[in-house]
Structure 1
Amino acid sequence: FGYLPYIDIWSELASALALSLYLVPVINITMVLSWVCPSGRISFYHAKDNNLLLTKVSESGAKEQTSLVDVCRAATPDTCHLNPLLFNGHLQTFWTATKSGDNVPVYYKRKIFQADSAMFTGQYAVDFAVEPYDMPPEGELTDQERKYTQPGGLPGRTSFFSQEELESLPSDDSKPMLVVLHGLSGGSYELYLRHVVAPLIEDGTWEVCVVNSRGCAQSKISTGVLYNARATWDIRQTVKWLRKTFPNRPLFAIGFSLGANILANYLGEEGDACQIKGAVLCASPWNLDVSHFTLNQTWIGREIYSKTLGTNMKALFERHVDEISKNPRVDVEAVRKITYLHEFDRAIQCPTWGYPTEGAYYRDASSSDVMLGIRVPFLCVQAEDDPIASREALPFQEMTQTPYGVMVTTSWGGHLGWYEVGGGRWFSKPITNWLNLMAKEIDIQIPGVVENPDKLPGQIAHHDDLNKDADLAPKPDFGPSRRKLNMNLPQ
């Protein structure tokens, strides 16, 4: 869900390519067509009869009404021309494992947060994008910084804020600020993430911070708890802190892969009280139970993707085993025997959080229902040939029921791939365009207006007809964020 390291899959990739390119006797006609006309199909999914109306401000200052759908269509390029050498979702996905991304530099300063909830105690790291600076000599961490960092040191172009820098961090400026959530075992250094961050901060109009999941991006954990697919507590605390520290900055958010699932859960849980002005969900697995099922239906899904993701999570576990082993709910040796991602979830997530099976965990942590509770504008970007966040798991029907979201899909792109000729990433275009439109051309101080509030998810249908009985039955209440596992989330 967002991270496939080169060293983990290269040998497996070689055998997979041999199978797909040399052992398949029939040439796939879609492969031929993609070479002749290498352009992905772009589709939009949204409510047809219930728009979210926004206020657009022209260069002259005049205000006019527009719809979220129109903003999303304006932000999305008319074509999706990708690299014809990477002619399917697998190759697009594999290619992410070969790219170092040094040509997309983003510099960070790190701040450590201590959790403010007794239920989710521990620490986590937030990296703030800053102007390029001379990096301190490698290995020169203070004792205090070493306390929060893995022995391998910080990721590239990352160092800690000094105490003086932290004290001067609060600001009354009104720059838009983007809060970023990464994929499964990644961090602020991820290339796909930097392809969005770099163009936004290039001219100094945006501020950006990345909330690293606990134990990721070379950060240390201080308790026996990592994170899960509905771990919304750290972004919730971060948003509260940002709102207090930068009171005039409009906050936006983006999540990639598993981070998109976490972000959708957060937005849905916050509902009308959400402090985010607009959000992007990119390559989300949405329905985790379905994603898990489809991933394990094929050899390549099980033996390449699931095994690699499981290996990554087991490596993350080993980096923090001293702390995690103190958790009385975790059987360390059982974790060390796992091979696939779902086995890791069975060995770690189920006992840690109280789920009886990984299936129960996937169903409870999925965001495909929770998204119906989102009450801020959001854009989803998905590839229909994504082998990890599969098409079968996408919320096509749900998107037609909410005026707050628009889902853009491409027929081609893989998982966080979308590689163009020259190394650019197509997905960064609609995302950065949309964020800039929302921040600079939409008056976000004026709340969006739903055309037909009676058609919002959870509203009870009513059809006037003389032949119908009066509707006297008790009214059911659909709560999209209602869970089977009570997390006792702080208010």
Structure 2
Amino acid sequence: MEWLGRAIIDFTTTPKSLNIKKKDGKATDLLEICKSAVPPCQLNPLLFNGHAQTMWTAAKAHGPPVHYKRKIFEADHAEFNGSYAVDFAVTDPADVEREEEADPSLPPRTVNFTEAELAKMGSDDSRPMLVILHGLSGGSHEVYLRFAIAPLIESGKWEACVVISRGCAHSKITTGLLYNARATWDVRQTIKWLKKTYPNRPLFGLGFSLGACILTNYLGEEGSATPLKAAVVVANPWALHISSKMLQSSFIGHHVYQRVLGTSMRALATRHKAELEQHTNIDTAHLLSRKYLYEFDRAYQCPTWGYPTEEAYYRDASSSDSLLAVRVPLLALNAVDDPIASWLSLPYAEAATNPYTVLCTTSLGGHLGWFEIGGGRWHGKPVCNFLNHMAFEVDLDSIHNEVNGKRTSGNPENGTNFDPLRRKMHVNLNQ
């Protein structure tokens, strides 16, 4: 029972969770690891529902400082060409001092790598490396992101980088492409580059909101072929068409959340107006007059990616079906009272089918809120606990594409006729 901000926590997975061996030889399973990683959820009782928790984000508490250096990648995909940015977390005092040299065109605490530094990138160390995807129109500077990764960075045991969605966080675009929830090619290229550049580092994934949707779609597309050893997705909207309809069905959802999200995307398009006009046939005057997120998606995502309606885009880009094809340990965190990622979109049935996934829900928390008394953010605790456990206590080589000794494909319980990766927008992942 909820009382004074104490949220109820539930776990959903298969009756027989994924078998995992620890480094000390002891046997465990994914559900047991997740339960041990998720502490009690005691939130600020004054922020008593999902709206309060979500809107309190606007208070913009400073949060723990994390410093970055930015590298620009040229996309290697023949169709989805152009450039994108990746921000690498740094802790060396000399690097942190460079904040004083910060380029005002970059986010706070971020500088560009020098040419000499870029030439020296790469090592043979075996430190775990975390690949992070931020939320809609966000970046590595977001407070919710820094609360989750700061303890890992400050421990001195982890390396981390944030893949910046095209055009976000003051990154430049060199084509007419921004990004969408199906945009998995940049994270795929980054992971391949990391595996080549740091061959001994075990790689892990972390995604927030829209970034959680992208990461889940990537994991589903790659299956057991992904170099990632485990991942966490936080506040994934899962079924975008459901969440969109739920937002449009209420006054606050339509006129507050849809409008705020639409405004952020309109600002993004405004910054890249020249590129959009140069590389696309989009009517930018019409695009920049849109107020709500679904209107923006109709005016941009549809003509850019060939979707007939924004609803078709939402259905195609949703990640609930991708969850069925995930083949690495995945912890998914969602708040049931999240007003943006609606509880009606939560993939309980899919999580109950795939032993590689555990869906953890809290009855309180809002969208990327989980504010505790004193301003802390609860979600950082299970994220760090799970990743530390997987990186330092689990025999990662014992995890493979088998479930209880049997090879799996599609739906392991009810056959393989259903293809969870069937898409209407065909993308050649190998180009």
Alignment of 1:88 with 2:87, yes or no, is no
Report deviation, 1:456: 6.1
Alignment of 1:485 with 2:429, yes or no, is no
Report deviation, 1:89: 0.6
> Which residue identity lines up with residue 129 of structure 1 in the other structure?
A
8 Å CA contact 1:109–1:160 kept in 2: the answer is yes
Alignment of 1:324 with 2:276, yes or no, is yes
Alignment of 1:436 with 2:397, yes or no, is no
Report deviation, 1:188: 0.3
Match of 2:148 in 1: 196
Residue deviations 1:24-57, cap 9 Å, x none? xxxxxxxxx96x5320000001111x32111112
> Which residue identity lines up with residue 69 of structure 1 in the other structure?
L
Q: Does the C-alpha gap of structure 1 residues 460 and 43 become closer, same or farther in structure 2, counting only changes over 3 Å?
A: closer
Match of 1:6 in 2: none
Match of 1:107 in 2: 67
8 Å CA contact 2:239–2:320 kept in 1: the answer is yes
8 Å CA contact 1:387–1:414 kept in 2: the answer is yes
Match of 1:215 in 2: 167
Report deviation, 1:304: 0.3
8 Å CA contact 1:402–1:456 kept in 2: the answer is no
Match of 2:114 in 1: 162
Match of 2:291 in 1: 339
Match of 1:10 in 2: none
Q: Does the C-alpha gap of structure 1 residues 455 and 160 become closer, same or farther in structure 2, counting only changes over 3 Å?
A: closer
8 Å CA contact 1:401–1:456 kept in 2: the answer is no
Pairing 1:122-271 to 2, within 5 Å after superposition: 122-131=82-91, 132=93, 133-135=96-98, 137=100, 153-271=105-223
Q: Distance in 2 between matches of 1:434 and 1:334?
A: 45
> Which residue identity lines up with residue 458 of structure 1 in the other structure?
N
Scaled by the length of structure 2, what TM-score is found?
Answer: 0.96
Residue deviations 1:169-210, cap 9 Å, x none? 201000000000000000000000001111001121000000
Residue deviations 1:220-265, cap 9 Å, x none? 1111110001100000000000000000000000000000000000
Report deviation, 1:135: 2.6
Match of 1:73 in 2: 35
8 Å CA contact 2:13–2:351 kept in 1: the answer is yes
Residue deviations 1:418-477, cap 9 Å, x none? 000011111111110000000000011222452263776435748xxxxxxxxxxxxx72
SS in 2 for 1:112: strand
Consecutive unaligned residues in structure 2, runs of 5 or more: none
Match for 1:403 among 338, 345, 355?
355
Report deviation, 1:130: 0.3
Which is greater in Rg?
A: 1
Alignment of 1:97 with 2:63, yes or no, is no
Match for 1:453 among 406, 410, 414?
406
> Which residue identity lines up with residue 71 of structure 1 in the other structure?
I
Q: Distance in 2 between matches of 1:328 and 1:457?
A: 37
Report deviation, 1:366: 0.4
Query: Aligned pairs, how many?
Result: 427
Structure 1: which 4+ aligned runs deviate by more than 6 Å?
Answer: none
Match for 1:365 among 294, 300, 317?
317
Match for 2:78 among 115, 118, 125?
118
Scaled by the length of structure 1, what TM-score is found?
Answer: 0.84
SS in 2 for 1:325: helix
Residue deviations 1:47-70, cap 9 Å, x none? 11x32111112xxxx312110011
Match of 2:379 in 1: 427
> Which residue identity lines up with residue 40 of structure 1 in the other structure?
A
Q: Does the C-alpha gap of structure 1 residues 461 and 405 become closer, same or farther in structure 2, counting only changes over 3 Å?
A: closer
Q: Does the C-alpha gap of structure 1 residues 413 and 460 become closer, same or farther in structure 2, counting only changes over 3 Å?
A: closer
Q: Distance in 2 between matches of 1:279 and 1:241?
A: 18
SS in 2 for 1:40: coil
> Which residue identity lines up with residue 386 of structure 2 in the other structure?
W
Q: Does the C-alpha gap of structure 1 residues 436 and 136 become closer, same or farther in structure 2, counting only changes over 3 Å?
A: closer
Q: Distance in 2 between matches of 1:117 and 1:85?
A: 48
Residue deviations 1:111-140, cap 9 Å, x none? 00000112111111100000142135457x
8 Å CA contact 1:384–1:390 kept in 2: the answer is yes
Match of 1:294 in 2: 246
Residue deviations 1:356-382, cap 9 Å, x none? 000100000000001111110000000
Q: Distance in 2 between matches of 1:245 and 1:191?
A: 29
Q: Distance in 2 between matches of 1:55 and 1:208?
A: 25
